[in-house]
Structure 1
Amino acid sequence: MTGQFRDPDALRARAGVAGDPNQDQHFLVDDRVLDRLPEYATAGEMDLSHVLEIGGGTGALTDRLLAVADEVTVVERDPELAEFLRSEFAEAISEGRLTVVEGDALDVELPDFTASISNLPYGISSEIVFRLLPTGKPLVLMFQSEFAERMAADPGTDEYGRLSVTAGHYADIELVEDVPPEAFDPQPAVDSAVIRTRPRDPDYDVPDDGFFMRFLRAVFTQRRKTMRNAVRNTVHISGLQDGDAVVDAASEELMSARAGNVTPAEFAQLATLAWDVGDPGEPDA
């Protein structure tokens, strides 16, 4: 499969770029990993009629996405790389199969995509993933390994935290591949990993998504304390006007637990209780 695609090193040579670790710019150059990224999407039976790629770089992954997708939109914040992609893939653009959007993926208007397959800039992984997850579209994304492990973690494990609960609120998260630094040039100082998401509704109800996310952010700032103390001590973050009322109304068992051992369904139960009796307002500015 690899032979039919542009060589990653040749692409970088034509683009005249070497990468810059100080700018979080590491190019994925391992053909085998590049080949597998779209394969994870096809194996997951994702709708690839319109694929979104965040951080196109010099187009090594873009080339492979064009082979499996009807249409690709790539977002690239570097003006010179965006111009290179327009030149390198001019034929696909003229055919209406590729659109290059120049700008920051956190700010630009995203298209009505059906799936996203991306090697993300690690420095803004969290912000990007929480822009993508609420869209309800399946994703195949490359992250720093530690971030990916926290996304997929189960309650009671060292990696389990706010990221695990918030990501799992929108989708099933599966870590499908570990990727060593040698797959990149220049090599990052950390290992990487690929996750695949399958969107689904959670098996619990919350009164308000925004409040639920705010409540999680609050209590996980004190994950080593009991939930009793975490709820009381973080009303400035959660926006609760009466943290004591929440503590008094909740079960002793739940209030004695620590955030790292509370399941997503239990967080939903507690957030619903907080919504009902805690007088949720807005967090302090």
Structure 2
Amino acid sequence: MTEFESESTFRDPDRLRRRAGVRGNPDRDQHFLVDDRVLDRVPSHLPDGTDRSHLLEIGGGTGALTDRLLAAGDRVTVVERDPDLAAFLREEFAEAVAQDRLAVLEGDALSLDLPEFSACVSNLPYGVSSEITFRLLPEGRPLVLMFQLEFAERMVAEAGTAEYGRLSVSARHYADVELVETVPREAFDPQPRVESAVVRCTPRAPGYEVADEAFFLRFVKALFTQRRKTVRNAIRNTAHISGLEDPDAVVDAVAEETLSSRPGDLPPETFAALAGTATEESAVGDGQ
């Protein structure tokens, strides 16, 4: 039995909620993970060899996952936007705070200055999961993040599938992404309307080069707004988004096989090649 499988090692999530005096509020994106078995497994999804010297948790809640992370790493920083829950975490884990093993940052993870961290393990607030994920991915650190199942499936989707889109290409630009566990609604209280999933992101350099990363990501976004169109039409129709000044020059420089495809059929490396051609053939502005 590993440390994450012990039934007596960690605080009981239901007792934590009672001590915190909270019931959870779906309108505020508060769905507390209360299944001990899932909580125990989440930190174990970190890639082998991960530096665990400083773990980051976004959305600490009442501390059920925080408790596991303190056992899994040397130091933990928790970001919690609810001031009452932030105060509760400091009180509940006062010993770890005093030992400088836990820091609790009160505020919004989208606007706070995040500390340097070696890996992030979080049950993200679902309403801002995309924004937080794309703040974390460029940091190049291992991530284990919980999402709504539909979001997770889009994140790991392969080219040519219905779920494949901007999210898939953008995530794979930064990391190898894997759906490592599905989590039923019953694992939360209050229960969300949908199932959830845990995604592991293992950072790596992409297998292609992009001269302008901001343009590459904007170009991918633009083309997927026209995912049912051919690439030819998508390039022409979305210049106001991508910032291309001469989309026809780009179209003229791209092979017919690519132009007649649809964005959802192109792997990330083809998007990179297209973006490279676009920057060579057309002046690029900021888009919208």
TM-score computed with the length of structure 2 as normaliser: 0.97
Q: Deviations over 1:130-178 (max 9, x none)?
A: 0000000000000000111111111001111000000000000010000
Match for residue 92 of structure 2 among 83, 88, 94: 88
Q: Which letter maps to 1:238?
A: S
Q: Which letter maps to 2:213?
A: D
Preserved contact between residue 49 and residue 114 of structure 1 (Cα < 8 Å):
yes
- 2:153 & 2:7 partners in 1: Cα distance? 29
Q: Which letter maps to 2:11?
A: R
Match for residue 75 of structure 2 among 38, 58, 71: 71
- 1:205 & 1:157 partners in 2: Cα distance? 24
Aligned to 1:107: 111
Aligned to 2:247: 243
Aligned to 1:226: 230
1:23-62 equivalence runs, <5 A:
23-41=28-46, 44-62=48-66
Q: Which letter maps to 1:213?
A: L
Q: Which letter maps to 2:93?
A: F
TM-score computed with the length of structure 1 as normaliser: 0.98
Shift of residue 45 of structure 1? 2.4
Q: Deviations over 1:254-274 (max 9, x none)?
A: 000000001111100000000
Structure 1 residue matching 2:153: 3-state secondary structure? helix
- 1:252 & 1:283 partners in 2: Cα distance? 26
- 1:201 & 1:4 partners in 2: Cα distance? 38
Q: Which letter maps to 1:265?
A: E
Preserved contact between residue 143 and residue 193 of structure 1 (Cα < 8 Å):
yes
Aligned to 1:275: 279
Shift of residue 44 of structure 1? 2.7
Preserved contact between residue 2 and residue 35 of structure 1 (Cα < 8 Å):
no
- 1:151 & 1:242 partners in 2: Cα distance? 31
User: Unpaired segments of 5 or more residues in structure 2?
Assistant: 1-5
CA root-mean-square deviation: 0.7
- Poorly superposed stretches of 4+, deviation over 2 Å: none
Shift of residue 35 of structure 1? 0.1
- 1:55 & 1:46 partners in 2: Cα distance? 21
Shift of residue 24 of structure 1? 1.0
Aligned to 1:4: 9
| Count of paired positions | 283
Shift of residue 40 of structure 1? 1.1
- 2:270 & 2:287 partners in 1: Cα distance? 22
- 1:275 & 1:163 partners in 2: Cα distance? 22
Match for residue 256 of structure 1 among 236, 240, 260: 260
User: Unpaired segments of 5 or more residues in structure 1?
Assistant: none
Mapped pair 1:191 → 2:202 = no
Q: Which letter maps to 1:135?
A: E
Give aligned-pair identity as a percent: 66
Q: Which letter maps to 2:24?
A: G
